[in-house]
């Protein structure tokens, strides 16, 4: 271990391509974070967006325990299933950027992004 000028232990933490390891420890275990969620879809509705995705093809070294959905403009996402959600209460015709990432005991995976524009759905007849 290295010490900095103030005598505080300094640890080197390497995070490369989603792999977390603690170098310099005997028998160190490498934890691989989950991969990107796949097949993202977004459906426009009146003042809402409906999103869905497929689980990552690479869960990492631990099973995926859930997903975090973040709406860049601050709206919240209500889960409607293990791989789907509803973003409601947003203005029509205002673009929304959403990112989705898997989580596990190894940490959060990288985020996948998708964008949509809510609006009034027109019926065709």
Query: Which pLDDT does position 30 carry in this prediction?
Result: 81
Domain-wise residue ranges, the chain: 1-32, 33-116
Taking only the tens place, the pLDDT of each residue in 92-109 is: 988 899 999 999 999 999
Instruction: Name the β-bridge partners of 19.
Output: 16, 32
Find where tokens 């967006």 sit. 49
From the options 3.30.70.270, 1.10.3720.10, 1.20.120.850, 2.60.40.10, give the CATH code of 33-116: 2.60.40.10
Taking only the tens place, the pLDDT of each residue in 49-61 is: 999 999 988 888 9
Q: Using alpha carbons, select from 67, 65, 71 the residue that is nearest to residue 36.
A: 67
Find where tokens 């325990």 sit. 65
Tokens at residue 15, please? Answer: 């995070």
- Rounded to an integer, the average pLDDT of 40-54 is 93
Q: What is the pTM of this model?
A: 0.69
Q: Which residues contact 1 (CB under 8 A, 6 or more apart)?
A: 9, 10, 11, 24
């Amino acid at each position: 271990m290295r010490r900095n000028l103030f005598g505080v232990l300094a640890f080197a933490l390497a995070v490369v391509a989603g792999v977390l390891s603690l170098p310099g420890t005997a028998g160190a275990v490498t934890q691989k974070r989950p991969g990107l969620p796949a097949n993202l879809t977004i459906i426009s509705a009146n003042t809402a967006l409906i999103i869905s995705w497929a689980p990552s093809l690479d869960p990492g070294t631990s099973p995926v325990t859930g997903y975090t959905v973040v709406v860049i403009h601050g709206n919240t996402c209500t889960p409607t299933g293990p791989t789907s959600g509803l973003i409601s209460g947003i203005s029509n015709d205002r673009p929304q950027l959403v990112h989705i990432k898997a989580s596990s005991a190894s940490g959060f995976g990288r985020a996948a992004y998708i964008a949509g524009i809510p609006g009034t759905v027109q019926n065709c007849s």
